Amino acid sequence: MTMSSPRRFEAASHYNAAYPQCALPADPSRLRGYHAAMQGVEDDLTGESVSMTVEFLPGGAPAPGEADRLGTVVATHWGQGPVLVLAEHVSLRTAWQLIVQRWPVRLSEVRAALDMTMS
């Protein structure tokens, strides 16, 4: 994976239309996502400097004891647009583990962790 700008969708509905198999649910608070201790992850990739959450779709990051699945990792503004696609067709368990091991506070750091899932 390269560190180019992530694919961006202005609204969750636009993302869901493009990724129906990995849709962002209407209530993403039910997902097991990453948000750097409730502070959010700084968007240093698009220049907007807003706090984002990292979501693992479909269904959130697998909890211990749950089966792993392939999916898409996105960043959202707390479940609202924009939606930034950070990785596609990755093991959601591996992506989760690599991210929480590094405890990133910026999206560029999340992307660097996800790069390990692609190698």
The verdict on residue 13 lying in a domain is: yes
Query: 51-57 and 70-77: which strand pairing?
Result: antiparallel
Q: Which domain holds residue 85?
A: 7-118
Q: How far apart are CA 97 and CA 93, in angstroms?
A: 6
Give the whole-angstrom CA distance, residue 94 versus residue 76. Answer: 20
pLDDT at 118 over 70: no
Q: Which of 41, 50, 64, 48 is nearest to 113 (CA)?
A: 41
Q: What was the pLDDT predicted at 55?
A: 95
Looking at the domain assignment, is residue 1 inside a domain?
no
- Mean pLDDT of all residues in the chain? 89
| Structural domains in the chain (count) | 1
CB 115 within 8 A of CB 91: no
Residue 2 within any structural domain of the chain: no
Q: Please report whether residue 43 resides in a domain.
A: yes
pLDDT in tens, 96-108: 999 999 999 999 9
Tell me the two tokens of residue 61.
Answer: 């990051």
Average pLDDT score over residue span 47-70 = 92
User: Residues of 71-102 as b/e, b for ≥16 C-beta within 10 angstroms?
Assistant: bbbbbbbebebbbbbbbeebbbbebbbbbeee
pLDDT digits (tens, 9 = 90+) for 2-12: 346 789 999 99
